[in-house]
Amino acid sequence: MSGVVGLLAMTSGAALAADWSVSGYGSIGYSYENEENLGFLRNIAQPDDYQRNGSFKPDSNIGVQFDLQLDPQWSVTTQWVMKERVEQRFDDITELAFVRYTPDENWDIRLGRLGLNAYIAADSRRIDYAHLWLRPPQEFYGGIFYDAIDGIDVTYRSQWDEITWSLGAQYGRIKQKLQNTASSEISATQSDQTLALVFSLEQDRWFGRLSYVHVGQLKVDLDGNSLLGIQVVNQLAQAGLGPISAEAAQLVEQINLQEETIEYWQLGFGYRGEQWSLQSEIYTILGEKAVVPEGVGGYAIAGYTLGNVTPYVIYGRFNPKNAPYQAQSDWGLSPVNGAQLAEVQKWLIGGINSTYIDQQTFSLGVRWDVTAQIALKAQYDYIQIADNGYGLWAIPLEADLQGRDVQLFSVSVNFVF
């Protein structure tokens, strides 16, 4: 961040003669579901508010972007976005802040804060106006809470017959703040060794991409209550209580992310016709710990344009690789502090399973392009959540995790300027 600010200061004289522009986007969205102890989340980086039923917060945002073209090869881009998040510091609202160098028509080099190139909507995930849907499908985008990477991006583009192709690589640091499900305290997650590789193709109206993201040395700085709980369970693991101590050691290992490695694979394709539009993405998450929601997620969307109105349908699914974590022994049977140990065991297992995802969604929606800069959207989602599969929702740890069907009604106004 300081590097970009410094560059702007050094080039302030040149900027007077350079080309610059200010643009922006925003959404005013309202969503409603009449479910007790369950709150809808656009993605899991939003605060856990399980008491709300209807809210403007999940789908509303406003973003402003500043572009400065210094010469044909050098440019600077910054973008700030106000949306629902656990903290609203300047660093948090800064979505983009990078310097771009394009030595020729093939190479594109960027340095700074960039959109993490892990999915089709990498640079436009917040810009709902740019997409047919009212919001990105929850089964794919809801669990991807790393939006940006601080580092370097190198892309090579070329042409082969009628096919335009590109190969890109990113390397740097990703970070995000998450709210503890059981409290209002905040945990910070960070990886200083994140690598993203992407290969994309485009021919006429068709496009496709394959990407891989390696998140290395991931660590989670736990909040005060969680850290204290881990310390207590560590003591329990060393207390020599047979199966209880053995399971306590196992639970601490599974819930504590320090220097963890997580991998993502993503495959996507789409078609943009004069009337028909199609798009689909599928991805898989790989990790070693039970708290990592391993599995396969994806969606498919199809729309048909009639004048200024485009009705569409979406199907989304996340299929977990493993079953929810189950207790290996009953800590309540301990002759010493059995009741208290049972509560600790419940808290630990609840924390692990709070990230478990198992759901599918059937959606119907319509988009009306009122003007060239304003679109109105309405969407109905019928969501089937399996037992324990609430990892994409705000729900208290003590809640009944039996599966349920949820109906979500949403309307939104999207605009650009």
Amino acid at 346: K
What is the CB neighbour count within 10 angstroms for residue 346? 15
Q: From CA 123, how far away is CA 100, in angstroms rounded?
A: 15
Question: Does pLDDT of 359 surpass 90?
Answer: yes
Q: Do residues 279 and 262 lie in contact, with contact meaning Cβ atoms separated by under 8 Å?
A: no
Q: Flag the least confident range among 87-91, 143-147, 183-187, 395-399.
A: 183-187
Chain centroid to CA 185: 20
What CA–CA distances, in Å, run from 78 to 8, 113, 140? 11, 9, 27
Predicted confidence (pLDDT) per residue in 369-417, tens digit: 999 999 999 999 999 999 999 999 999 888 889 999 999 999 999 999 9
Q: What is the pLDDT of residue 338?
A: 82
Q: What is the pLDDT of residue 387?
A: 97
Question: Does pLDDT of 363 surpass 80?
Answer: yes
Q: From CA 254, how far away is CA 322, in angstroms rounded?
A: 14
Q: In the structure encoding, which two tokens stand for residue 227, read together?
A: 């850290």
Q: DSSP assignment of 210-260, as one string?
A: EEEEEEEEEEEE--HHHHHHHHHHHHHHTS--THHHHHHHHHHHHH--EEE
Amino acid at 208: G
Q: What is the CATH number of the domain that holds 387?
A: 2.40.160.10
Q: What is the dihedral sign for C-alpha 179, 183, 188, 189?
A: negative
**Percentage of residues in the chain having pLDDT higher than 90:** 71
Domain count, the chain: 1
Which DSSP state fits 42? S
Domain that holds residue 325: 2-416
With bands split at pLDDT 50, 70 and 90, how would you rate the model's confidence at 98?
A: very high
Distance between first and last Cα of the chain: 25
What CA–CA distances, in Å, run from 12 to 66, 74, 77, 80? 14, 14, 14, 20
Write down the pTM of the prediction: 0.91
Q: From CA 175, how far away is CA 85, in angstroms rounded?
A: 13
Residue spans of alpha helices (H) in 17-123: 90-93
Q: From CA 157, how far away is CA 18, in angstroms rounded?
A: 26
